[in-house]
Amino acid sequence: MTFKPRNFHKSFVGPGFSHSGTVYACSGNNLTLGLRRIIGKRVDEELLLGNQRRMEHNELVTNFIDVIVSRTKRIVDDTPTDSIIKYAMAPHAKRKMRMNALKNLDELHAVAKYEKWCIEVLGKSKVYEFAKPGKRPRFIGDFGSEAALVGGYLVEHIKEAMTEPVTIGSFDIVFIKSPKLIILDEVFRTVHQNRRNIIYYHSDDVIGSIILDGVHHTFEMDISSCDCSNQGPIFRSVDKLLRLPGYEHVADAFANYSNLGVKLKDPWKKEKTIHLKQPADGVIEYSGTRLTTVLNNMAIVFICAGIEIIKEEMQGLLSPQDILLVGANLAGYEVTLLVDPPMERLTFLKHNACYGVDGEIWAVQNLGVILRAVGQCDNDFPGSGCVETRGNEFNSSVLLGCQWMGDHVLHDALKDCFFKRTPRVKPRWRNDYVDKTGRYAPRIDTYSLCRRYGVTISQMEELCDYILHSGPGDLIRTRCSDAIFLIDYGL
């Protein structure tokens, strides 16, 4: 079965799993909804923006900026032109696009002339992802491959500088650049076992622990309406990170960010375009740009500074949840929180902690990621010939890609379901294994896995039985699968 909105479709062969996720069509209405998502105002916008402006000049924030600038200067050791060439030629999925952009810049002699490569933003709606019902689609700002290339090298080094711990008051904050399991193991063990004030973050995804009145509390935090919450103070703070000797053209291009117009193309009539001006009194954060992660990282720094201030002033008077909420408000943000849940419930970068059969804490990929991935793919299944065979081979390949993400009963059922139908795809699986990073991971305890989703072992076994006895075209829905999608995606 194939569903075909314009320019994009999903193919389903099954067995797959039923959920209420929405896939957005490429339409003018969705462009409008996405634009509203990034220019919307919060209920207490004036109060929160005033708090954000005051936090911009707080000593805790300015000290953080000084530390990152100092580290970045030590990392960046090439001239801008040499650094861009190295960045473009490095092995990467987008290497071809970067090399074409490098050629264009060379022809324009425009590496340091941002007005030639940072001209206009092409607005797009993201139509490929599943979204919560009723949630507005993401609005992507495409600045062009030349702009991504010129700014990308410096942004990568700023991120690298953030990966080392930085002290903000009593907190250590650490940026996690990529979801490597050997790193996430340490993240979850530190949060749950070490009695210290620490925050791990990646963009607007936050997990941490805080000591209040001698009691250890764990928490997960997410910024509400993050796209439209980052205002001038955040952009000015990031501008300071970019303004390094020899790289002023990157900072100047970023400062010119708010002066760029936005071009929207009618999805049904490509020749029809609309040009919009950005608001004179503010700036807009687009999804999918090279700077999105750094902007959101700076928002977490503001929030951490706010929490530190409230913790010192109100400890013993407010609950842990209120200290975190008021601290975020003091920094100019509204957040959603999960404080002191069961260990397995905390989520970071689509992973959670579970106990292995050895009694140790291990990072495990959320089950919802796997269930949502199998049974369907974007556009057509790879290859040619029988759709059922191609679909089974695709699903088996998806499982091979997840083989290091946790060995447990659900993986066993999915392996038995797909690999027996696809002899050309050979499973490489053991109960106890060492992945390519040298990480040893034992079998995951089933009770610990079930505790995350609030289901019983018998309900988990029911889902596994349905998988084992399913066939092509089957769409599975059980109490356990519903719980998995609810916890992992809110579906």
Reported as a pLDDT band with limits 50, 70 and 90, residue 4 is: very low
Where in the chain are the domains? 40-340, 345-489
Question: Is the pLDDT higher at 349 or at 245?
Answer: 349
Q: What is the pLDDT of residue 111?
A: 57
Max avg pLDDT among 151-160, 213-222, 265-274: 213-222
Instruction: Give this prediction's pTM.
Output: 0.88
Which of 184-188, 401-405, 425-429 tops mean pLDDT? 184-188
What tokens does 234 get?
Answer: 């955040």
Residue 280: predicted pLDDT: 61
Strand order in the sheet with 2-3: 2-3, 10-12, 376-378
CB half-sphere exposure, 401, CA atoms < 13 A: 10
Percent of the chain with pLDDT over 90: 33
- What mean pLDDT is reported for the chain? 82
Cα-atom radius of gyration of the chain, to the nearest Å? 24
pLDDT in tens, 168-187: 999 999 999 888 888 999 99
b/e 64-76 (16+ beta carbons within 10 angstroms → b):
bbebbbebbeeeb
Question: What is the model's pLDDT at position 85?
Answer: 76
pLDDT for residue 432 is more than 50: no
Confidence of residue 362 (pLDDT cuts 50, 70, 90): very high
**pLDDT per position as a tens digit, 76-123:** 766 666 677 777 777 777 788 878 777 777 655 555 565 556 667 888
Res 482: pLDDT: 93
User: How much is the pLDDT for 2?
Assistant: 39
> Mean pLDDT lowest for which of 50-54, 112-116, 352-356?
112-116
**By the 8 A CB rule, do 471 and 15 touch?**
yes
Residue 45 has pLDDT above 70, yes or no: yes
3-class DSSP assignment, residue 313 = helix
- Backbone phi and psi for residue 170, each to the nearest 5 degrees, phi listed first: -95, 0
Q: For the ranges 179-188, 401-410, 471-480, which has the lowest average pLDDT?
A: 401-410
Torsion from C-alpha of 65, 67, 70, 73, nearest 10 degrees = -70
Other C-beta atoms lying within 10 Å of the C-beta of residue 131: 18
Task: Show the tokens assigned to 312.
Answer: 């010192």
* CA-based nearest residue to 230, from 306, 288, 282: 282
